[in-house]
Copies of this chain bind each other. A is one copy, B any other.
Amino acid sequence: MSLFVQKFGGTSVGSVERIEAVAEKVAGFVENGHDIVVVVSAMSGETNRLIGMANEILEHPTPREMDVLVSTGEQVTIALLCMALHKRKIDAKSYTGGQVKILTDDAHTKARIQQIDSESIHSDLKNNHVVVVAGFQGVDENGNITTLGRGGSDTTAVALAAALEADECQIYTDVDGVYTTDPRVCEKAHRMERITFEEMLEMASLGSKVLQIRSVEFAGKYSVPLRVLSSFKEGPGTLISLEESSDMEQPVISGIAFTRDEAKLTIRGVPDIPGVASKVLGPISDANIEVDVIVQNIAADGTTDITFTVQRGEMAKASQILDNTAQELGAREVLSDDKIAKVSIVGVGMRSHAGVASTMFQALAADNINIQLITTSEIKVSVVIDEKYMELAVRSLHSAFGLDQEQDQE
């Protein structure tokens, strides 16, 4: 008998029929003797409907009242799910974030969880109740309703799993697990049996949008085993945990991530003096533009080039700022390019295997794909390439690192 925290997102509870299906799934776990805490989001479309009404009134509605408004979305779902469980003769009790209580700071619309009072949940579980908790919401120390920001239901689930010392936190989504890469790009992609928190963080931040990054960090920090699985079909999903797979056949690289959302900016011929990088990037960051890859060339003739990538939508703004900087520093020119893609290989196996980067470069070279930028971390190598080669690069790398073989499938 295990204690599972199960999170169902907006699509999984998007209609009364879907809510009944979730109840059916939960009922199956209860019949097998498990203790279940369910965390649910608002029914899909509901949060947008509420925000739409607020925006009819004000372009930037007051954050405190915004939280009062949107938190009703999950409150509707918890009540309906409990009713659907009652219909199946399962004792169930709903809790809003404030009722649990999930104490947060007072940063409305993006609050952070500070503490969870799990006492009444424990007591309900002891009485064989399924506990249904509204995701995404909490309450500050003055009793004001707060929300954790979009996707915060994942964070609620992980935080509850940590507080309750659950055996597993199961995130039900519309995919059946985490894949070696996007199957729409590479048809040989397959579901991973397991992956580490670190790898998942690199995969998520690089564009595999299965899970909220924050919830993965949270799960890693409190060592809560996290499982991603499908709301709609049966299957073991993908387990995200501290340990690497003990499988001897585990490949060095776990997955290939990619994104087309970035643009590249280069400032050429800036003086090669201490502090020049901060002179270039300081104004960018002051404008709240997030910078991803940063590369500085080796200096020649007392000048150097600095290249970095930003979100594609912010290229124009960043380019303007860079023009000013170029004038101040007497730089030669500013270049920008939004026809790029970033492709990354991710895997904890990389730590103990030499030559991974070189395998990557060879594979890309074999397909005549020119590498524009390279950046590496302990468990990741990313390259920036012309976006038209992105799909080809992903497929080449998927094959080069032996991910094409069907494995870990049951």
Given the known interface contacts A56-B16, A57-B20, the answer about A62 and B76 at a Cβ–Cβ threshold of 8 Å is no
Q: Is A183 an interface residue (CB 8 A)?
A: no
Kindly report how many copies of this chain are found in the complex they form together: 2
Quick one: which of A64-96 are within 8 Å of B by CB?
64-66, 68-69, 71-72, 75-76, 78-80, 82-84, 86-87, 93-94, 96
Cβ of B83 and Cβ of A54 under 8 Å apart?
yes
Q: Give chain B nearest CB distance to A75 CB in angstroms.
A: 5
Task: Look across to chain B and name the residue whose beta carbon is closest to the beta carbon of A77.
Answer: B69
From the candidates B19, B62, B75, name the one contacting A72 in the complex (CB within 8 A).
B75
Interface size of A by CB at 8 A reads 36
In the complex, residue of chain B having the shortest beta-carbon distance to the beta carbon of A71: B75
- Neighbour of A83 across the interface among B62, B96, B143, CB < 8 A: B62
Chain B residue, CB-CB nearest to A76: B72
B96–A68 CB distance below 8 A? yes
> Known interface pairs A72-B75, A76-B72. Does A65 touch B53 (Cβ–Cβ under 8 Å)?
no
Q: CB distance B61 to A83 under 8 Å? A: yes
Contacts of A54 in B (CB 8 A): 79-80, 83
Taking a contact as CB atoms under 8 Å apart, the answer to whether B83 and A75 are in contact is: no
Q: Using A16-B56, A87-B57 as known contacts, say yes or no to A65 and B50 having CB atoms under 8 A apart.
A: no
Q: Which residues of chain B have C-beta atoms less than 8 A from A273's C-beta?
A: none
A265 to B66, CA, bound (A): 55
User: A248 contacts the other chain (Cβ, under 8 Å)?
Assistant: no
The A263-291 residues at the B interface (CB cut-off 8 A) are none
What residues of B have a CB within 8 angstroms of the CB of A65 in the complex? 78-80, 82-83, 86, 94
Shortest beta-carbon distance from A44 to chain B in Å: 14
Chain B residue at minimal CB-CB distance from A54: B83
Q: CB-CB < 8 A to A98: which residues of B?
A: 98
Asked whether any CB of chain B lies closer than 8 Å to the CB of A58, the reply is yes
Closest to A78 in B: B68
Q: B53, A66: Cβ atoms under 8 Å? A: no
Q: Chain B's nearest CB lies how many Å from the CB of A67?
A: 8
Indicate if A375 sits at the interface (CB-CB under 8 A): no
Q: Is the CB of A53 within 8 A of B16?
A: yes
A20, A54, A69: most-surrounded residue (chain B CB, <10 A): A69
Given contacts A83-B54, A83-B57, A84-B57, contact A94 B68 (CB under 8 A): yes
Cα of A54 to Cα of B86 in the assembled complex, Å: 12
Closest CB-CB distance, A99 to chain B, in whole Å? 6
B53 near A82 (CB under 8 angstroms)?
A: no
B50 and A62 form a contact (CB under 8 A): no
Of the residues B50, B75, B84, contact of A68 by C-beta under 8 Å: B75
Residues of B within 8 A of A19 (CB): 57
A80 proximity list for chain B (CB < 8 A)? 53-54, 57, 65, 69
Report A32-70 residues with CB < 8 Å from chain B CB. Answer: 50, 53-54, 56-58, 61-62, 64-66, 68-69
Smallest CB-CB separation from A134: which chain B residue?
Answer: B68
Which residues of B are found within 8 Å of A84, using beta-carbon distances?
57-58
The 6 A-B pairs at the shortest CB distance, nearest first, are namely A69-B79, A72-B72, A68-B79, A65-B79, A16-B56, A65-B82
B-contacting residues of A (Cβ < 8 Å)? Answer: 16, 19-20, 50, 53-54, 56-58, 61-62, 64-66, 68-69, 71-72, 75-76, 78-80, 82-84, 86-87, 93-94, 96, 98-99, 143-145
Q: A53-B80, A68-B94 are in contact. List 17 more A-B contacts (CB 8 A).
A: A16-B56, A19-B57, A54-B80, A57-B87, A61-B86, A62-B83, A62-B86, A65-B78, A65-B79, A65-B80, A65-B82, A65-B94, A68-B78, A71-B75, A75-B75, A99-B143, A99-B144
21 contacts between A and B (CB under 8 A): A16-B56, A50-B76, A54-B79, A54-B80, A57-B83, A58-B83, A58-B84, A64-B94, A65-B82, A65-B83, A65-B94, A68-B78, A68-B79, A68-B82, A68-B94, A68-B96, A69-B75, A72-B72, A72-B75, A72-B76, A99-B143
